[in-house]
């Protein structure tokens, strides 16, 4: 595609953009149980207008746009207060949970460089259930991830296992509130005690749960301490654009004090250009997400959030009870909020996800590990809570359809993988296997069951290679 020689009309542009959405899943209809978080039409409209009113303001320089400094500090302080930070706690807005997490890891790394220069290979200790963003941060920032196994019954990490993984190179402990896959909280208080004992930084990833869990607590749900109330917690990430229901592109990273936060900030006067000071990773950034987050927090207020949370929790309980009532399915663990996953020993859950997709539903497939079975993940939010009964109805029917289908030949796939691993030209062999699985070319696959079956049986490094090569071809 080339830039057109003459401009296209507004009407044609908007119509074309709308047509691009023809293959997108219907999140507005409440059938997508992941990725999108809608607060309802009225709230969304307020947020949209606020977002657009600050679309072109640039968060790079607060001396030019002090309005964005006001918005950012207001939003960060509201979230800090919600998570029981005191007057010394500080925070920033970021583009999302991944940036928040990467900044927390950078802060720990740079603090260790300044105070413990003898550490040449810094390490962070994290549960197997920690978000992949920590592995991305490790890759970008040259910090070694030390992964600790979880309890296969509860899907939580044990504090004593975290402690055993600590070495002289450890700079950071990590836990989740909750972990995404099964929606359970790690033992934050116990890990906080370990962090204090060893004088280590401790980051709590509350990207998905920070806001929702806080309002659950206000509603009377028994939620273990997970935020700044826990001694030893030194930083927290919490997304606004998930269960804060703000527009995409807004998260927070918070620290217990400024003395720690200073290691996050980057400044450079070493060039002939303007002085560069970046509190976060991005330089230029639209004020839209700031304004959208400020608007939704103030428009909903505590009462509005409590209403959303109660509605979502009621729907989540209905869904978990309904899934457990289907003989072939079982919810994994005891989820602490509105995110859960379920497995099946009777049918292939990847085939079940495909059948549900034919009816417009999106359920997220998750691969097996030595301690967790393959499963499907559901994130309940206000925008899809009303679909609980319809989802359960289709789920029951699709289970019966999959039971009648010919199962995927898993043993045959394992044999193909084994042969590829033994091939004198493994790259060519795996390229052929990828093509047979549908991971080739520039088109998105229409069904995922066979692809997921292949990837679930691959060693992680090979599976990662598959995905990198596929995306390298997909985006031209």
pLDDT 10s digits, 313-335 = 999 999 999 999 999 999 999 99
pLDDT at 469 over 90: no
pLDDT at 95 over 90: yes
Q: What pLDDT does residue 104 have?
A: 98
Residues facing 415 on adjacent strands? none
Question: Could you tell me the two tokens for 260?
Answer: 């720690």
Q: What pLDDT does residue 4 have?
A: 93
> For the residues 144-149, what does the mean pLDDT come to?
98
Q: What pLDDT does residue 413 have?
A: 86
Q: What is the CATH number of domain 302-404?
A: 3.90.1150.10
Q: What pLDDT does residue 138 have?
A: 98
pLDDT at 452 over 80: yes
Q: What pLDDT does residue 26 have?
A: 83
DSSP H helices in 325-448: 349-358, 388-404, 410-421, 426-437
CB 155 within 8 A of CB 127: no
Q: What is the pLDDT confidence band of residue 443, given thresholds at 50, 70 and 90?
A: confident
Q: What is the pLDDT confidence band of residue 48, given thresholds at 50, 70 and 90?
A: very high
Q: d(Cα 445, Cα 439) in Å, to the nearest integer? A: 8
> For the residues 176-187, what does the mean pLDDT come to?
98
Start-to-end Cα distance in the chain: 11
The residue behind tokens 């700044």 is 228
Q: What pLDDT does residue 471 have?
A: 85
Q: What is the CATH number of domain 50-296?
A: 3.40.640.10
CB 148 within 8 A of CB 161: yes
pLDDT at 189 over 80: yes
Q: Which of 114, 85, 365 lies closest to 226 in space, CA to CA?
A: 85
pLDDT at 465 over 80: yes
pLDDT at 16 over 90: yes
Question: Could you tell me the two tokens for 302?
Answer: 């505590």
pLDDT at 419 over 90: no
- Domain map (residue ranges) of the chain: 50-296, 302-404, 411-474
Q: Which of 184, 180, 150 lies closest to 165 in space, CA to CA?
A: 150
Cis amide bond preceding 81, omega within 30: no
Q: What pLDDT does residue 425 have?
A: 79
Give 426's contacts (C-beta < 8 A, 6+ positions apart): 420
25-341-345 Cα angle (round to 5): 110
pLDDT at 23 over 90: no
Q: What pLDDT does residue 399 have?
A: 98
pLDDT 10s digits, 300-311 = 999 999 999 999
> For the residues 198-226, what does the mean pLDDT come to?
98
pLDDT at 418 over 90: no
Give 228's contacts (C-beta < 8 A, 6+ positions apart): 80, 83, 84, 85, 86, 89, 236, 254, 256
Tell me the average pLDDT of the chain. Answer: 95
Q: What pLDDT does residue 356 have?
A: 97
Q: What pLDDT does residue 61 have?
A: 94
Question: Could you tell me the two tokens for 116?
Answer: 């413990």
Question: Could you tell me the two tokens for 143?
Answer: 């910090």
């Amino acid at each position: 595609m080339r830039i057109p020689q003459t401009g296209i009309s507004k009407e044609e542009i908007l119509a074309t953009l709308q047509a691009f959405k023809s293959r997108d899943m219907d999140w507005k209809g409440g059938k997508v149980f992941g990725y999108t978080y809608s607060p309802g039409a009225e709230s969304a409209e307020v947020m949209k207008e606020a977002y657009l009113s600050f679309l072109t303001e640039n968060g790079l320089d607060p001396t030019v746009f002090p309005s964005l400094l006001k918005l950012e500090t207001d939003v960060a302080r509201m979230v800090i207060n919600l998570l029981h930070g005191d007057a010394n706690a500080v925070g920033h807005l970021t583009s999302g949970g991944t940036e928040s997490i990467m900044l927390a890891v950078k802060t720990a790394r740079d603090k260790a460089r300044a105070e413990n220069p003898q550490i040449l290979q810094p390490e962070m200790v994290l549960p197997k259930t920690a978000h992949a963003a920590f592995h991305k941060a490790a890759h970008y920032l040259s910090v070694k991830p030390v992964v600790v196994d979880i309890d296969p019954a509860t899907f939580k990490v044990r504090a004593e296992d975290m402690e055993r993984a600590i070495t002289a190179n450890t700079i950071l402990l990590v836990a989740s509130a909750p972990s995404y896959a099964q929606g359970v909280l790690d033992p934050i208080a116990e890990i906080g005690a370990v962090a204090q004992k060893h004088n280590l930084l401790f980051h709590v990833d509350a990207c998905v749960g920070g806001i929702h869990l806080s309002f659950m607590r206000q509603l009377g749900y028994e939620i273990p301490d997970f935020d700044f109330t826990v001694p030893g917690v030194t930083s927290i990430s919490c997304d606004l654009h998930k269960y804060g229901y703000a527009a995409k592109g807004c998260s927070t990273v918070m620290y217990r004090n400024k003395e720690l936060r200073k290691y996050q900030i980057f400044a450079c006067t070493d060039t002939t250009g303007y002085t560069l000071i970046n509190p976060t990773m991005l330089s230029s950034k639209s004020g839209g997400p700031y304004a959208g987050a400020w608007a939704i927090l103030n428009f909903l207020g505590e009462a509005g959030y409590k209403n959303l949370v109660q509605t979502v929790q009621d729907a989540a309980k209905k869904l978990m009870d309904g899934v457990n009532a289907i003989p072939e399915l079982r919810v994994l663990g005891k989820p602490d909020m509105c995110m859960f996953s379920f497995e099946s020993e009777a049918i292939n859950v990847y085939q079940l996800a495909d059948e549900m997709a034919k009816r417009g539903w999106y359920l997220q497939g998750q691969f097996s590990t030595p301690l967790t079975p393959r499963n499907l993940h559901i994130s309940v939010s206000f925008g899809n809570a009303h679909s609980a009964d319809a989802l359960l109805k289709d789920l029951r029917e699709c289970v019966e359809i999959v039971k009648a289908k010919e199962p995927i030949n898993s043993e045959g796939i394992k044999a193909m993988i084994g042969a590829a691993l033994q091939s004198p030209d493994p790259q060519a062999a795996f390229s052929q296997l990828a093509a047979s699985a549908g991971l080739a070319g520039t088109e998105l696959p229409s069904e995922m069951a066979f692809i997921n079956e292949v990837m679930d049986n691959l060693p992680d490094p090979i599976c990662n290679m598959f995905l990198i090569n596929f995306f390298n071809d997909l985006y031209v």
